[in-house]
């Protein structure tokens, strides 16, 4: 009976240690700050404001679309 309890105690301790090690290796993902999105006036694709090309109050996804829109 004592051997059975010893085996059970070792198994429980091993499972607990395994979960602790796994939680330290894989921290929860950080939540990224939201980015303001704008719409390309030429094609309608949405992109981050930091990646957009601005002309007056209009945004574009590329220089080519800006040229197409202005011509």
Tens digits of residue pLDDT in 2-52: 899 999 999 999 999 988 887 777 777 787 788 899 999 999 999 999 999
pLDDT of residue 30: 80
Tens digits of residue pLDDT in 60-70: 999 999 999 99
Q: 48, 35 in Cβ contact below 8 A?
A: yes
Is 65 exposed, middle or buried, given 0-12, 13-18 or 19+ CB atoms closer than 10 A? middle
pLDDT of residue 34: 81
pLDDT of residue 20: 83
């Amino acid at each position: 009976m004592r051997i059975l309890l010893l085996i059970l105690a070792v198994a429980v301790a091993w499972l607990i240690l395994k979960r602790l090690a796994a939680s330290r290796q894989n921290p929860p993902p950080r939540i990224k700050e939201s980015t303001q999105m704008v719409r390309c006036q030429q094609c309608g694709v949405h992109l981050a404001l930091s990646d957009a090309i601005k002309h007056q109050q209009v945004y574009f996804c590329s220089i080519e679309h800006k040229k197409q829109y202005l011509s």
